[in-house]
A = this chain, B = another copy of it.
Amino acid sequence: MGNVTIKLLAERLNVSTATISKALCDSHEISEQTKQKVLELARELNYIPNAYASSLRRNRSQTIAVLIPEVADSFFSLALNGIEEVALQRGYHTLIYMTHEKLEREKAILKELSGGRVDGVIMSVTAETDSFEHIHNFSRQLPVVFFDRVCPDLNTAKITTNDFECGYLATKHLIEAGCRKIVLLAVSNSLSIMSERSMGFNKAIKDFDLNENDCRIVYCGEDAVYNYQLIKELMQGTNRPDGILATVEKLTTEIYLACNHLSINIPRQVKVVCFSNQASAVILNPSLTTITQPAFEMGKTAATALLKALKNNSLVLAEESMVIPSALNIRSSTSVAVQTY
Protein backbone atom coordinates (compact mmCIF):
# COMPACT_ATOMS: atom_id res chain seq x y z
CA MET A 1 0.00 0.00 0.00
CA GLY A 2 2.75 2.40 -0.96
CA ASN A 3 4.02 2.73 2.54
CA VAL A 4 6.18 5.65 3.42
CA THR A 5 9.73 4.41 3.81
CA ILE A 6 13.12 5.90 4.34
CA LYS A 7 13.58 5.78 0.60
CA LEU A 8 10.63 8.04 -0.01
CA LEU A 9 11.84 10.53 2.55
CA ALA A 10 15.24 10.47 0.88
CA GLU A 11 13.80 11.22 -2.53
CA ARG A 12 11.67 14.04 -1.23
CA LEU A 13 14.60 15.72 0.44
CA ASN A 14 17.16 14.91 -2.22
CA VAL A 15 19.46 13.15 0.16
CA SER A 16 20.52 9.54 0.53
CA THR A 17 18.69 6.98 2.58
CA ALA A 18 21.73 6.82 4.80
CA THR A 19 21.26 10.42 5.75
CA ILE A 20 17.65 9.82 6.63
CA SER A 21 18.48 6.79 8.69
CA LYS A 22 21.18 8.59 10.56
CA ALA A 23 19.08 11.68 11.05
CA LEU A 24 16.32 9.61 12.54
CA CYS A 25 18.58 8.08 15.11
CA ASP A 26 20.07 11.46 15.88
CA SER A 27 23.56 10.67 14.63
CA HIS A 28 26.28 13.25 15.10
CA GLU A 29 27.19 12.86 11.47
CA ILE A 30 24.13 14.81 10.45
CA SER A 31 23.69 18.56 10.73
CA GLU A 32 20.98 20.01 12.86
CA GLN A 33 19.37 21.54 9.83
CA THR A 34 18.96 18.29 7.98
CA LYS A 35 17.81 16.54 11.10
CA GLN A 36 15.09 19.12 11.47
CA LYS A 37 14.01 18.74 7.90
CA VAL A 38 13.97 14.96 8.13
CA LEU A 39 12.05 14.93 11.38
CA GLU A 40 9.55 17.35 10.02
CA LEU A 41 8.91 15.45 6.83
CA ALA A 42 8.77 12.20 8.72
CA ARG A 43 6.08 13.57 10.94
CA GLU A 44 4.25 15.13 8.05
CA LEU A 45 4.15 11.92 6.06
CA ASN A 46 3.58 9.90 9.20
CA TYR A 47 6.65 7.79 8.67
CA ILE A 48 6.78 4.66 10.81
CA PRO A 49 9.92 2.54 10.62
CA ASN A 50 9.53 -1.00 9.44
CA ALA A 51 10.30 -3.07 12.48
CA TYR A 52 11.32 -6.11 10.49
CA ALA A 53 13.76 -4.41 8.22
CA SER A 54 15.40 -2.92 11.24
CA SER A 55 15.37 -6.19 13.15
CA LEU A 56 16.85 -8.06 10.24
CA ARG A 57 19.65 -5.65 9.74
CA ARG A 58 20.50 -5.03 13.35
CA ASN A 59 19.82 -8.55 14.48
CA ARG A 60 17.78 -7.06 17.27
CA SER A 61 14.06 -7.37 17.44
CA GLN A 62 13.25 -5.16 20.41
CA THR A 63 10.96 -7.97 21.43
CA ILE A 64 10.97 -10.33 24.35
CA ALA A 65 8.93 -13.44 24.93
CA VAL A 66 7.13 -14.44 28.07
CA LEU A 67 6.43 -18.12 28.61
CA ILE A 68 4.02 -18.85 31.39
CA PRO A 69 1.90 -21.88 32.22
CA GLU A 70 -1.33 -19.94 32.12
CA VAL A 71 -2.67 -16.46 32.49
CA ALA A 72 -5.84 -17.26 34.41
CA ASP A 73 -3.96 -17.16 37.67
CA SER A 74 -3.46 -14.02 39.67
CA PHE A 75 0.22 -14.61 40.11
CA PHE A 76 1.00 -14.94 36.43
CA SER A 77 -1.38 -12.17 35.47
CA LEU A 78 0.28 -9.77 37.82
CA ALA A 79 3.74 -10.87 36.79
CA LEU A 80 2.88 -10.41 33.14
CA ASN A 81 1.60 -7.00 34.03
CA GLY A 82 4.93 -6.11 35.60
CA ILE A 83 6.89 -7.47 32.69
CA GLU A 84 4.85 -5.65 30.08
CA GLU A 85 5.09 -2.42 32.02
CA VAL A 86 8.86 -2.43 32.06
CA ALA A 87 9.12 -3.67 28.49
CA LEU A 88 6.80 -1.06 27.02
CA GLN A 89 8.50 1.68 28.95
CA ARG A 90 11.85 0.70 27.46
CA GLY A 91 10.51 0.35 23.96
CA TYR A 92 10.31 -3.41 23.94
CA HIS A 93 7.46 -5.53 22.71
CA THR A 94 6.17 -8.56 24.55
CA LEU A 95 5.18 -11.83 22.96
CA ILE A 96 3.08 -14.03 25.20
CA TYR A 97 2.98 -17.80 25.10
CA MET A 98 1.06 -20.09 27.38
CA THR A 99 2.41 -23.54 27.85
CA HIS A 100 -0.63 -24.88 29.67
CA GLU A 101 1.79 -26.92 31.73
CA LYS A 102 2.78 -28.93 28.67
CA LEU A 103 6.46 -29.67 28.26
CA GLU A 104 5.99 -30.26 24.55
CA ARG A 105 4.66 -26.76 24.05
CA GLU A 106 7.54 -25.33 25.98
CA LYS A 107 10.01 -27.14 23.77
CA ALA A 108 8.28 -26.19 20.53
CA ILE A 109 7.99 -22.54 21.48
CA LEU A 110 11.60 -22.25 22.56
CA LYS A 111 12.74 -23.91 19.38
CA GLU A 112 10.85 -21.50 17.23
CA LEU A 113 12.02 -18.54 19.25
CA SER A 114 15.63 -19.47 18.80
CA GLY A 115 15.17 -18.45 15.17
CA GLY A 116 15.68 -14.89 16.33
CA ARG A 117 12.16 -13.67 16.75
CA VAL A 118 13.00 -12.34 20.17
CA ASP A 119 16.01 -10.92 21.90
CA GLY A 120 15.41 -12.75 25.12
CA VAL A 121 12.98 -14.79 27.13
CA ILE A 122 11.36 -14.54 30.53
CA MET A 123 9.86 -17.79 31.63
CA SER A 124 8.36 -19.91 34.34
CA VAL A 125 8.67 -23.58 33.49
CA THR A 126 5.77 -25.98 33.21
CA ALA A 127 4.81 -28.45 35.90
CA GLU A 128 5.95 -31.20 33.57
CA THR A 129 9.41 -29.82 32.97
CA ASP A 130 11.69 -32.38 34.57
CA SER A 131 14.56 -32.29 32.09
CA PHE A 132 16.21 -29.10 31.08
CA GLU A 133 18.22 -29.83 27.99
CA HIS A 134 15.99 -27.82 25.70
CA ILE A 135 16.31 -24.84 27.98
CA HIS A 136 20.03 -25.30 28.24
CA ASN A 137 20.41 -25.35 24.50
CA PHE A 138 18.22 -22.34 24.11
CA SER A 139 20.05 -20.34 26.72
CA ARG A 140 23.25 -20.73 24.80
CA GLN A 141 21.73 -18.68 22.05
CA LEU A 142 19.59 -16.15 23.83
CA PRO A 143 19.41 -14.72 27.32
CA VAL A 144 16.82 -16.29 29.58
CA VAL A 145 15.51 -15.01 32.86
CA PHE A 146 13.45 -17.27 35.07
CA PHE A 147 10.87 -16.17 37.52
CA ASP A 148 9.12 -18.18 40.17
CA ARG A 149 9.50 -21.61 38.61
CA VAL A 150 13.14 -21.81 37.75
CA CYS A 151 15.44 -24.22 36.05
CA PRO A 152 17.81 -25.13 38.86
CA ASP A 153 21.08 -25.96 37.15
CA LEU A 154 21.26 -23.05 34.79
CA ASN A 155 23.58 -20.18 35.39
CA THR A 156 21.31 -17.23 34.72
CA ALA A 157 19.12 -14.72 36.49
CA LYS A 158 16.39 -16.21 38.60
CA ILE A 159 13.78 -14.05 40.20
CA THR A 160 12.17 -16.02 42.95
CA THR A 161 10.49 -15.58 46.24
CA ASN A 162 11.44 -17.16 49.54
CA ASP A 163 9.51 -20.37 48.94
CA PHE A 164 11.35 -22.44 51.49
CA GLU A 165 10.78 -19.97 54.26
CA CYS A 166 7.18 -19.48 53.25
CA GLY A 167 6.58 -23.21 53.29
CA TYR A 168 8.12 -23.25 56.72
CA LEU A 169 6.33 -20.18 57.97
CA ALA A 170 2.93 -21.22 56.73
CA THR A 171 3.32 -24.65 58.31
CA LYS A 172 4.54 -23.11 61.53
CA HIS A 173 1.56 -20.80 61.52
CA LEU A 174 -0.78 -23.76 61.12
CA ILE A 175 0.96 -25.64 63.90
CA GLU A 176 0.79 -22.66 66.22
CA ALA A 177 -2.88 -22.37 65.42
CA GLY A 178 -3.26 -25.87 66.77
CA CYS A 179 -2.99 -28.10 63.72
CA ARG A 180 -1.39 -31.49 64.17
CA LYS A 181 -2.28 -33.26 60.94
CA ILE A 182 -1.27 -31.03 58.10
CA VAL A 183 -1.48 -31.84 54.43
CA LEU A 184 0.45 -29.99 51.77
CA LEU A 185 -1.35 -29.89 48.46
CA ALA A 186 1.13 -29.85 45.59
CA VAL A 187 0.79 -30.03 41.84
CA SER A 188 4.11 -31.37 40.65
CA ASN A 189 7.16 -32.98 42.10
CA SER A 190 9.61 -31.49 39.65
CA LEU A 191 8.88 -27.81 40.09
CA SER A 192 11.49 -25.85 41.95
CA ILE A 193 8.90 -23.94 43.92
CA MET A 194 7.20 -27.15 44.97
CA SER A 195 10.31 -28.75 46.32
CA GLU A 196 11.26 -25.56 48.12
CA ARG A 197 7.87 -25.22 49.71
CA SER A 198 7.77 -28.90 50.57
CA MET A 199 11.17 -28.73 52.20
CA GLY A 200 10.02 -25.82 54.30
CA PHE A 201 6.93 -27.77 55.17
CA ASN A 202 8.91 -30.86 56.13
CA LYS A 203 11.35 -28.90 58.21
CA ALA A 204 8.56 -27.29 60.19
CA ILE A 205 6.96 -30.67 60.75
CA LYS A 206 10.26 -31.94 62.13
CA ASP A 207 11.12 -28.85 64.12
CA PHE A 208 7.81 -28.99 65.89
CA ASP A 209 7.85 -32.72 66.36
CA LEU A 210 4.64 -33.47 64.54
CA ASN A 211 3.85 -37.05 63.64
CA GLU A 212 5.25 -37.46 60.15
CA ASN A 213 2.66 -40.03 59.24
CA ASP A 214 -0.12 -37.56 59.85
CA CYS A 215 1.55 -34.90 57.78
CA ARG A 216 1.93 -35.70 54.15
CA ILE A 217 2.11 -34.28 50.67
CA VAL A 218 -0.80 -34.91 48.35
CA TYR A 219 -0.41 -34.31 44.64
CA CYS A 220 -3.26 -32.64 42.83
CA GLY A 221 -3.77 -32.47 39.10
CA GLU A 222 -4.75 -29.95 36.47
CA ASP A 223 -8.42 -30.82 36.44
CA ALA A 224 -10.68 -28.94 38.86
CA VAL A 225 -13.23 -31.74 39.14
CA TYR A 226 -10.53 -34.28 39.87
CA ASN A 227 -9.02 -32.04 42.49
CA TYR A 228 -12.40 -31.46 44.08
CA GLN A 229 -12.95 -35.20 44.40
CA LEU A 230 -9.45 -35.70 45.69
CA ILE A 231 -9.88 -33.12 48.38
CA LYS A 232 -13.26 -34.50 49.35
CA GLU A 233 -11.82 -37.96 49.72
CA LEU A 234 -8.97 -36.53 51.70
CA MET A 235 -11.39 -34.87 54.08
CA GLN A 236 -13.50 -38.00 54.41
CA GLY A 237 -10.55 -40.31 54.99
CA THR A 238 -9.80 -42.01 58.26
CA ASN A 239 -7.03 -39.64 59.12
CA ARG A 240 -8.62 -36.34 58.24
CA PRO A 241 -6.20 -33.40 58.28
CA ASP A 242 -6.83 -30.46 60.54
CA GLY A 243 -4.65 -28.18 58.44
CA ILE A 244 -4.21 -27.65 54.73
CA LEU A 245 -1.43 -25.80 53.02
CA ALA A 246 -2.31 -25.33 49.37
CA THR A 247 0.57 -24.42 47.12
CA VAL A 248 -1.45 -23.10 44.22
CA GLU A 249 -4.13 -20.50 44.11
CA LYS A 250 -6.65 -22.41 42.07
CA LEU A 251 -7.06 -25.06 44.77
CA THR A 252 -8.80 -22.52 46.98
CA THR A 253 -12.17 -22.99 45.32
CA GLU A 254 -11.98 -26.77 45.55
CA ILE A 255 -11.00 -26.71 49.19
CA TYR A 256 -13.77 -24.33 50.17
CA LEU A 257 -16.35 -26.18 48.11
CA ALA A 258 -15.33 -29.58 49.42
CA CYS A 259 -15.40 -28.45 53.02
CA ASN A 260 -18.69 -26.72 52.52
CA HIS A 261 -20.19 -29.77 50.91
CA LEU A 262 -18.99 -31.98 53.73
CA SER A 263 -20.04 -29.40 56.31
CA ILE A 264 -16.54 -29.19 57.62
CA ASN A 265 -16.04 -25.84 59.22
CA ILE A 266 -13.06 -23.71 58.32
CA PRO A 267 -11.23 -22.86 60.54
CA ARG A 268 -12.77 -24.82 63.40
CA GLN A 269 -12.31 -28.28 61.94
CA VAL A 270 -9.65 -27.56 59.42
CA LYS A 271 -7.45 -24.52 58.97
CA VAL A 272 -6.37 -23.42 55.53
CA VAL A 273 -3.45 -21.46 54.15
CA CYS A 274 -3.05 -20.87 50.45
CA PHE A 275 -0.28 -19.56 48.25
CA SER A 276 -2.49 -17.05 46.49
CA ASN A 277 -2.59 -13.57 45.07
CA GLN A 278 -6.34 -13.44 44.64
CA ALA A 279 -7.80 -10.13 45.64
CA SER A 280 -10.89 -11.97 46.77
CA ALA A 281 -9.06 -13.82 49.56
CA VAL A 282 -10.17 -11.11 51.92
CA ILE A 283 -13.86 -11.49 51.15
CA LEU A 284 -14.09 -15.24 51.25
CA ASN A 285 -15.93 -16.91 54.09
CA PRO A 286 -13.91 -17.27 56.12
CA SER A 287 -11.39 -14.84 54.77
CA LEU A 288 -8.38 -16.76 53.57
CA THR A 289 -4.95 -16.74 55.13
CA THR A 290 -2.55 -16.46 52.23
CA ILE A 291 1.04 -16.33 51.25
CA THR A 292 1.02 -13.56 48.69
CA GLN A 293 3.91 -13.45 46.34
CA PRO A 294 5.27 -10.17 45.06
CA ALA A 295 4.07 -11.04 41.59
CA PHE A 296 4.11 -7.62 40.01
CA GLU A 297 7.50 -6.86 41.50
CA MET A 298 8.88 -10.17 40.33
CA GLY A 299 7.70 -9.48 36.82
CA LYS A 300 9.23 -6.04 36.84
CA THR A 301 12.49 -7.31 38.26
CA ALA A 302 12.71 -10.12 35.74
CA ALA A 303 12.11 -7.74 32.87
CA THR A 304 14.61 -5.27 34.23
CA ALA A 305 17.25 -7.97 34.52
CA LEU A 306 16.64 -9.19 31.00
CA LEU A 307 16.69 -5.75 29.43
CA LYS A 308 19.86 -4.96 31.28
CA ALA A 309 21.48 -8.05 29.83
CA LEU A 310 20.26 -7.12 26.38
CA LYS A 311 21.84 -3.73 26.76
CA ASN A 312 25.14 -5.30 27.67
CA ASN A 313 24.94 -8.10 25.16
CA SER A 314 25.52 -10.57 27.91
CA LEU A 315 24.02 -14.00 28.18
CA VAL A 316 24.82 -14.89 31.72
CA LEU A 317 23.43 -12.71 34.41
CA ALA A 318 23.31 -14.94 37.43
CA GLU A 319 24.33 -12.01 39.55
CA GLU A 320 21.00 -10.38 38.74
CA SER A 321 19.19 -13.14 40.59
CA MET A 322 16.94 -11.91 43.29
CA VAL A 323 14.76 -13.28 45.99
CA ILE A 324 11.82 -11.07 46.79
CA PRO A 325 10.06 -12.14 49.94
CA SER A 326 6.40 -13.09 50.05
CA ALA A 327 4.06 -12.06 52.81
CA LEU A 328 1.99 -14.20 55.13
CA ASN A 329 -1.42 -12.60 55.48
CA ILE A 330 -3.12 -14.05 58.47
CA ARG A 331 -6.88 -14.10 58.17
CA SER A 332 -9.83 -16.04 59.50
CA SER A 333 -9.22 -19.35 57.78
CA THR A 334 -6.54 -20.07 60.33
CA SER A 335 -7.91 -18.30 63.37
CA VAL A 336 -8.11 -20.18 66.61
CA ALA A 337 -11.25 -18.51 67.87
CA VAL A 338 -14.20 -19.31 65.69
CA GLN A 339 -15.49 -16.41 63.72
CA THR A 340 -17.02 -15.84 60.34
CA TYR A 341 -15.37 -12.76 59.02
Point out the residues of chain B lying under 8 angstroms from A286, CB to CB. 285
A74 cross-chain contacts in B, Cβ below 8 A:
72
Q: A278: which B residues are within 8 A, CB to CB?
A: 280
Select which of B93, B96, B111, B256 is within 8 A of A80 by beta carbon.
B96
Contacts of A55 in B (CB 8 A): 52
Q: Given A52-B61, A84-B97, A252 and B283 touching (CB < 8 A)?
A: yes
A50 lies within 8 A of B116 (CB):
yes
Complex alpha-carbon distance, A253 and B282, angstroms: 8
A327 within 8 A of B: no
Task: Tell which of A70, A85, A279, A340 has the most Cβ of chain B within 10 Å.
Answer: A279
Is the C-beta of A51 less than 8 angstroms from some C-beta in chain B?
yes
Cβ-based interface call for A173 (8 A): no
Copies in the complex: 2
A116-B51 CB under 8 A given contacts A81-B98, A341-B260 = yes
A48 to B50: give the CA distance in the assembly, Å.
Answer: 22
With A51-B115, A52-B61, A56-B50 already in contact, the answer to whether A284 and B282 are too (CB < 8 A) is: no
Most chain B CB neighbours (cut-off 10 Å) among A50, A52, A250: A52
Among A270-296, those with CB < 8 Å from B are 278-280, 282-286
Measured CA separation A283–B286 after assembly (Å): 9
Q: How far is the CA of A341 from the CA of B141 in the complex (A)?
A: 55
Expressed in whole angstroms, the minimum distance between the Cβ of A222 and any Cβ of chain B is 14
Does chain B have a CB within 8 A of A88? yes
Whether A33 is near chain B, meaning CB under 8 Å from some CB there, is no
Question: Closest residue to A91 on the B side, CB-wise?
Answer: B112
**Smallest CB gap from A115: residue in B:** B48
Partner of A51, one of B97, B117, B260: B117
| A56 partner, pick from B52, B77, B78, B81, beta carbons under 8 A | B52
Kindly list chain B residues whose C-beta atoms are within 8 Å of the C-beta of A112: 48
| Residues of chain B lying within 8 A (CB to CB) of residue A257 | 282-283
Instruction: List A residues 14-56 near B (Cβ within 8 Å).
Output: 48-53, 55-56
User: Once the chains are docked, how many angstroms separate the CA of A81 from the CA of B63?
Assistant: 20
- Please pick, from B117, B141, B284, the residue contacting A93 in the complex, using a CB distance under 8 A: B117
9 contacts between A and B (CB under 8 A): A1-B141, A3-B116, A51-B115, A51-B117, A53-B56, A71-B77, A72-B78, A93-B117, A257-B283
Q: Which residues of A are interface residues toward B (Cβ below 8 A)?
A: 1, 3, 48-53, 55-56, 61, 63, 66, 70-72, 74, 77-78, 80-81, 84-85, 88, 93-98, 105, 111-112, 114-117, 141, 250, 252-253, 256-257, 260, 278-280, 282-286, 340-341
Q: Which A-B residue pairs are the 9 nearest by beta carbons?
A: A285-B285, A48-B115, A256-B283, A52-B55, A52-B56, A51-B117, A280-B280, A96-B96, A52-B52
Query: Could you list 6 further interchain pairs (A-B, Cβ under 8 angstroms) beyond the known A252-B280, A285-B341?
Result: A50-B116, A71-B71, A93-B117, A253-B280, A278-B280, A284-B284
